[in-house]
Structure 1
Amino acid sequence: MLRYVCGVIFACVPLAAANAASPNFCRNSFKPNEPIELRFIGIEYALMMHVLAEKYCGAEPKPMRPRFLGYIQKQGCLPGTEIYSDVEEAIAKLEGASLRSLAETEVPDLPMSERQVQEWASSATKELGGATH
């Protein structure tokens, strides 16, 4: 009897393994107790550093799409995946954003003076690693 039970269990294991879904690491949302993918954890900060370097620190402008979307593609996340679409959308917003709009995004209900915008940019730049300007 034990042999039959073990035989049934071993016969079902390959079927269960074949139907088990592998985790989709090309997304930003995770279910409770699901492992979190760390490859993309700092990409939002990297995007903001890139934009602040250009708009506040005076760095030479360079296109963000090849750098960031290229990295995501190298990680196996092609166009249409959640992470790719989210980063593509963030790049589109950041490319056209002024320093003022970036600062006011942080404090949406309060219009900021030029001095406050500069203070925000200085503070954010220091927090993200600084700039030489």
Structure 2
Amino acid sequence: MFRYLGAAILTCVPLVAANAASPDFCRNRIEPNEPLETRFMGIDYALMIHVLAEKYCGAEPTPMRPRFLGYIQKQGCSPGTEIYSDVEETIAKLEGASLKLLAQNGDPDLPLSERQVQDWAANAAKELGGCDALKSVHDAEFPR
């Protein structure tokens, strides 16, 4: 009896394995009961740190595309994947955004004075560790 049960199980294993698909971790959405992929969870913060370091703290401007999109590619997500496209779009918005537009969270109709923009930038920089920390992260080598 156990031999027949064992044979049946062993016969089904290749069929189940053939139909099993690994999760697509090159996307941003997470399906219910799917394991969390943490490689890209902090990329939004890293982008904001990069931009604040340059636009508020005076760090030497460096291109974001090779750094961030290169990291995503090294993680196995090529151009055309959801995460790559989203980060590429975010970089395009951030590169052209002024400090005021960042403070307005992308809403140009939000009336903020220059003082409010500077206060926002100062608070954001402080929350992220201060300008010295932002410049340090900005100039650091990105993880491989």
| Structure 1 length-normalised TM | 0.92
1:63 paired residue number:
63
2:142 paired residue number:
none
1:4 aligns with 2:4: yes
Contact 2:26–2:83 at 8 Å: present in 1 too? yes
2:38 paired residue number:
38
Aligned-pair distance for 1:9?
Answer: 2.1
1:18 aligns with 2:8: no
Mapped partners of 2:95, 2:56: distance in 1: 14
Aligned-pair distance for 1:34?
Answer: 0.9
Mapped partners of 2:106, 2:127: distance in 1: 14
SS in 2 for 1:27: coil
Mapped partners of 2:74, 2:52: distance in 1: 25
Unaligned runs of 5+ in 1: none
1:103 paired residue number:
103
Structure 1 moving runs of 4+ over 6 Å: 106-109
Mapped partners of 2:125, 2:119: distance in 1: 10
Q: Map Cα deviations across residues 55-75 of structure 1 (whole Å, 9 max, x no partner).
A: 111111100000000011111
Mapped partners of 2:66, 2:107: distance in 1: 30
Aligned-pair distance for 1:127?
Answer: 1.1
Mapped partners of 1:53, 1:42: distance in 2: 16
Q: Map Cα deviations across residues 87-116 of structure 1 (whole Å, 9 max, x no partner).
A: 001000000000011101177774110000
Identity %: 74
Q: Map Cα deviations across residues 3-37 of structure 1 (whole Å, 9 max, x no partner).
A: 33332221011111111010111111101121111
Structure 2 counterpart of 1:26, which letter? C
Paired residue total: 133
Q: Indicate the structure whose relative CO is greater, using CA pairs within 8 Å and at least 6 residues apart.
A: 2
Unaligned runs of 5+ in 2: 136-144
Of the structure 1 ranges 102-111 and 27-36, higher mean CA displacement relative to structure 2 is found in 102-111
Give the alignment's Cα RMSD to 1 decimal: 1.8
